[in-house]
Amino acid sequence: MAVDEGVDAGGGAPADNEEFSIDELARRAGSNVRNVRLYQERGLLPPPRRVGRSNWYGAEHLARLNLILAMLGKGYPLAAIRELLEAWQGQRSLADILGFEEMVSAPFVEEEPRHYTADEIVELFPGDEPDDVERMLDRAAKLELLIPDGDGFLAPIPSLVEAGAQLVADGVPVSAVLDVAQSVNHTADKLAKTFVDMFVRHVWEPFVRDGMPPERLPLITDALERQRPLATKAVVPALAQALQRRVEKVASEHAATLAKSSRSKGRPRR
């Protein structure tokens, strides 16, 4: 998915011929003048159009500044960003690079975060003592299930909170629910690493070894877009199948125990 080179973090795409000052450029990108000057000094931003004593910036500067900020947010050092920009300079439009960055940055979870009041959380996850509630909230925050937010809590993925609340309502202790959540997080991290490492090893690294030819970047972006949903499509049915096997095994074991107990109770006493 390509992104127009006039992406504007301030809420609108500038016209191709629109120009603005360095202050306006920084404002639209959500940055500041000092950083804009730094990126310009490091060669990350092309020089502005100079008219008399005034400098004017346009859509290309804003698009590139948005890209720089997005890559900095991902942990790229300035030197690496400059090398990447230079690799495409004059060969490929920034739209292809921005399209790749947009695909990398797109959220995997489509749920909207939800705010819960403290009373709502206590009602969903009651504790026997105030200290129990405090420990539960602290642990839930460490697992990033609930994030303190003003006078309540923000749930990044509300469906996880709802699932936990249902388990508690069915009789599972809060501590056990958090144990499961911790185990799920750990397993999910391992699965995520497996899928990401696979993409890096078999798709991204060959692209880098070949010198990152600009004409192949859209193909890499398309591959990333296709593979994003594959992990979920693979993991959910596999988990369902594993649950089925486990439930059948446990049910069989308990059925045998129940039958043995029934036979024992039915024997006449001597």
Which of 184, 208, 224 corresponds to the end of one domain? 184
Same domain for 262 and 231, yes or no, is yes
Residue 157 lies in a domain: yes
Bridge partners (DSSP) listed for residue 147:
154
Q: Are 88 and 214 in contact (CB under 8 A)?
A: yes
Distances (CA, A) of 148 to 12, 86, 117, 177: 32, 43, 10, 19
d(CA 1, CA 97): 10
- DSSP secondary-structure letter at 51? E
Which of 139, 155, 184 corresponds to the end of one domain? 184
Is the pLDDT at 178 greater than 90? The verdict is yes
pTM of the model: 0.59
Residue 158 banded pLDDT, cuts 50, 70, 90: very high
Rg (CA), the chain: 27
Residue 69 lies in a domain: yes
144 versus 102: which is more confidently predicted?
A: 144
Quick one: pLDDT at residue 154?
93
**Quick count: other Cβ atoms within 10 Å of Cβ 165?**
17
Range of the domain at 100: 22-105
Same domain for 220 and 259, yes or no, is yes
CATH number at residue 50: 1.10.1660.10
Residue 11 lies in a domain: no
Bridge partners (DSSP) listed for residue 54:
51
pLDDT tens for 61-118 read: 888 888 888 878 877 788 878 877 776 665 555 566 667 766 666 667 678 889 999 8
pLDDT tens for 128-138 read: 666 778 888 89
Is the pLDDT at 24 greater than 90? The verdict is yes
Same domain for 200 and 261, yes or no, is yes
Residues 231-259 have a mean pLDDT of 83
Quick one: pLDDT at residue 165?
92
Residue 62 lies in a domain: yes
Which of 44, 72, 105 corresponds to the end of one domain? 105
Nearest to 150 by CA among 117, 120, 113: 117
Helices marked H in the chain — which ranges?
A: 22-29, 33-41, 59-73, 78-88, 94-105, 118-124, 130-142, 158-169, 174-199, 205-209, 217-227, 230-266
Count of structural domains, the chain: 3
Residue 261 banded pLDDT, cuts 50, 70, 90: low
Residue 51 lies in a domain: yes
Residue 1 lies in a domain: no
* Tokens of residue 78, six digits: 């300035």
